[in-house]
Amino acid sequence: MNFEEIKKYWEDRAAGDSSAQSTTQDFYLREIEYNVLLEKIQKYSPDSVADVGCGDGRTTARLAGKLPNVLFSGFDYSLFMVENARHNSLTEELSNIQFDQLDICAGLKETFDLIYTTRCLINLPSWDLQKIAIDNIHGALSIGGVYLMVENFIEGQKNFNQVRKNYGLSEIPIREHNFFFQRDRLFDYIDGRFKIDEEVNISSTYYLMSRVIYSKICAETGQQPDYFDDHHRFAAGLPFAGEFGPVRLICLKKL
């Protein structure tokens, strides 16, 4: 899919669904992401935070509710997503949050102490566009600012699919609106722009449980996999270990 087709995909999805699954079916993956974001935002203690590609704004609003002294700005290029996000945060009566429509490839207009993305840049259909987005995030960070990158990588995707194969399960393909990062290529590019403060695969144990063990149980018992099954719920609480899932957190400090 090209840029416009992907943008339309998200507009259509937001127009037809404002539920907690409007940005991903995988509810418990968002729980993992929320928990690591909260921990890292507390660690870096910024005054201002931008959530780029905030989707329905639920994660942004939860963080803003938990951290009332931090100013949160949520951005998304889909107007329907922004409207859903505004609606969701209104019901929580938060005064430290705002949402605006913005395409990260066009750049941010203000500076922030901390910027994060959760599975946003994988919706840009080329490495060239992803590099523009990374440059724009870098340019919008204050001196010493932090970029928390929560994005999908091809290496972890291949690794868990190899385990699935060993269990006689079919490969889970990358969705046609997604373009995953290659770790080495990314690290070459950010060298000189950012210092890597921390890096962890936050989806490895979760994927081994949900996409291998639970998938195998479903295949053998004829069950339809359910994102709200207890295997997902309990897997979300496992410690992080290994490289068997696509989603990683990389904490990047602006140089």
Provide the binding-site residues for ligand SAM, judged by CB under 6 A: 10, 23-24, 30, 53-55, 59, 75-78, 81, 103-105, 118-120, 123-124
Q: What are phi and psi of 113, to 5 degrees?
A: -75, -30
- Residue 64 Cβ, how far from ligand SAM at the closest point, in Å? 14
Q: What are phi and psi of 81, to 5 degrees?
A: -60, -45
- Cβ neighbours for 34, distance < 8 A, ≥ 6 positions apart: 59, 62, 63
Nearer to ligand SAM, 119 or 254 (CB): 119
Nearer to ligand SAM, 75 or 214 (CB): 75
- Residue 30 Cβ, how far from ligand SAM at the closest point, in Å? 6
Cα–Cα distance, 210 to 231 (Å, whole number)? 6
| Residues 219-228: contacts with CB under 8 Å, at least 24 apart | 219/168, 219/169, 227/21, 227/25, 227/26, 227/27, 227/28, 228/27
Q: What single-letter amino acid sits at 155?
A: E
- Residue 21 Cβ, how far from ligand SAM at the closest point, in Å? 10
- Residue 80 Cβ, how far from ligand SAM at the closest point, in Å? 9
Nearer to ligand SAM, 23 or 201 (CB): 23
Nearer to ligand SAM, 103 or 243 (CB): 103
Cα–Cα distance, 88 to 52 (Å, whole number)? 17
Nearer to ligand SAM, 48 or 218 (CB): 48
- Residue 119 Cβ, how far from ligand SAM at the closest point, in Å? 4
- Residue 103 Cβ, how far from ligand SAM at the closest point, in Å? 4
Q: What six digits make up the tokens of 92?
A: 């929580």
- Cβ neighbours for 46, distance < 8 A, ≥ 6 positions apart: 70, 112, 113, 114, 145, 146
Q: Do the bridges between strand 141-152 and strand 247-254 make them parallel or antiparallel, or are there none, so unpaired?
A: antiparallel
* Look-up of token digits 């505004």: 86
Nearer to ligand SAM, 123 or 205 (CB): 123
| Residue nearest to ligand SAM as judged by C-beta position | 55
Nearer to ligand SAM, 128 or 184 (CB): 128
Q: Is 164 helix (H, G, I), strand (E, B) or coil?
A: helix
- Residue 171 Cβ, how far from ligand SAM at the closest point, in Å? 21
